[in-house]
Amino acid sequence: MNLFHIIEVQQFKDRGLLEDIFSLSARMEKLDESKDLSLLLPSVPRRKILASLFYEPSTRTRLSFESAMKRLGGDVISTEDAPHFSSAVKGESLTDTIKVVSSFADAIVLRHYEEGSAKRASEVSKVPIINAGDGPGQHPTQALLDLYTIKKELGRIDNLKVCFVGDLLYSRTVHSLVYLLAQQNNIELYFVSPEEIRMPRDIADYLKEKGCPFFEQETLFEVAHIVDILYVTRVQKERFRSIVEYERVKDSYVVDKQITQAMKEGSRILHPLPRVQELPPEIDSDSRSAYFRQADNGLYLRMSLLSMLLKQ
């Protein structure tokens, strides 16, 4: 299958494609460790260029994409605070910006605050658009690195019980990973959140249609002992219309030692990061806490995707 734009995880239904991405990611990690750069992107007739356009803040996604591109031997042009330091300030539309930047680069990684923005960008771009988060919509490369992490940590991506806890309404990483997991075999999902920020109904309907069982509840302790993966998310203050609503739900769940003691020996805790109060540093030393290893995997997964998109 030929990849061009990466907009949503529904593009990754093909198990063979997932396996290719994961095995190339593992190869990238080995090459990087051994400093063997034989898989560099072609630099003739010129080095490939990645444009990173970020209209929302980012640490992991932007810097891992930029690092990935440079490690592959490519180059990067970027605007890290596009709402203030690009011509968006002067009123330029996203689609006009994309039309122009797609002449300057071989691929564009885009993070934007509007759901659907990456798709709109892909409709006018001459080069691949990689969705690095479109508001509360999707974050497909995060979901791929999450699934890659599950594969590395547990040795499988089928036969899993996965619990998502926290902000299920606004978390694009949750939305993407739920869609991606629903495409695997024998997956059981548990959604734990306050009523105000529960899973969007269109995603719940999708799961029903796919026949993927899911259970919604407000208590984490009840499910902690049965899950293989506990995927924790931050309550996203920036997406709430009122600070009062945010304050009401922000401390609903904390994955502390009481929760980890209830969890299975072979389970894992994931979090896309950044974290705030929901994941206290006291559990970092638990070998099941895999969130920093998960962030590390982002670099290799993104090297793999860039190399697949830009090798031609």
Active-site residues, by number, are: 60-61, 90, 111, 139
- In the list 142, 149, 193, 267, the residue contacting ligand CP (rule: CB under 6 A) is 142
Where does this chain touch ligand CP (CB under 6 A) — which range of 40-48, 76-84, 113-121, 270-278? 270-278
- The answer to the question of residue 59 lying near ligand CP (CB under 6 A) is yes
- In the list 25, 58, 183, 233, the residue contacting ligand CP (rule: CB under 6 A) is 58
Site string for ligand CP, 202-241 (x = CB under 6 A): ----------------------------------------
Q: What are phi and psi of 191, to 5 degrees?
A: -115, 115
- The answer to the question of residue 81 lying near ligand CP (CB under 6 A) is no
**Structural contact between residues 109 and 51, judged by C-beta atoms closer than 8 angstroms:** yes
Q: What are phi and psi of 50, to 5 degrees?
A: -105, 130
- In the list 163, 178, 224, 273, the residue contacting ligand CP (rule: CB under 6 A) is 273
Cα torsion angle, 231, 236, 239, 245, sign: positive
**Structural contact between residues 141 and 170, judged by C-beta atoms closer than 8 angstroms:** no
Where does this chain touch ligand CP (CB under 6 A) — which range of 31-39, 81-89, 199-207, 271-279? 271-279
Tell the burial category of 282 from Cβ atoms under 10 Å away from its Cβ (0-12, 13-18, 19+): exposed
- In the list 25, 61, 86, 102, the residue contacting ligand CP (rule: CB under 6 A) is 61
> In this complex, which beta carbon is closest to ligand CP, that of residue 48 or of residue 60?
60
> In this complex, which beta carbon is closest to ligand CP, that of residue 138 or of residue 142?
142
Q: How far, in Å, CA of 23 to CA of 31, rounded?
A: 12
Shortest Cβ 232–ligand CP spacing (Å): 12
Where does this chain touch ligand CP (CB under 6 A) — which range of 30-38, 39-47, 54-62, 85-93? 54-62
- In the list 8, 22, 52, 60, the residue contacting ligand CP (rule: CB under 6 A) is 60
Shortest Cβ 83–ligand CP spacing (Å): 15
Bridge partners of residue 163, in order along the sequence:
190, 230
Which string of DSSP letters, residue by residue, matches 141-195? HHHHHHHHHHHHHHS-SSSEEEEEES-TTT-HHHHHHHHHHHTSSSEEEEEE--G
Paired tokens of 10: 């529904």
Shortest Cβ 295–ligand CP spacing (Å): 7
> In this complex, which beta carbon is closest to ligand CP, that of residue 156 or of residue 293?
293
Which string of DSSP letters, residue by residue, matches 66-106? HHHHHHTT-EEEEETTHHHHSGGGGT--HHHHHHHHTTT-S
Q: How far, in Å, CA of 121 to CA of 104, rounded?
A: 15
Binding site for ligand CP (CB under 6 A): 58-61, 139, 142, 272-274
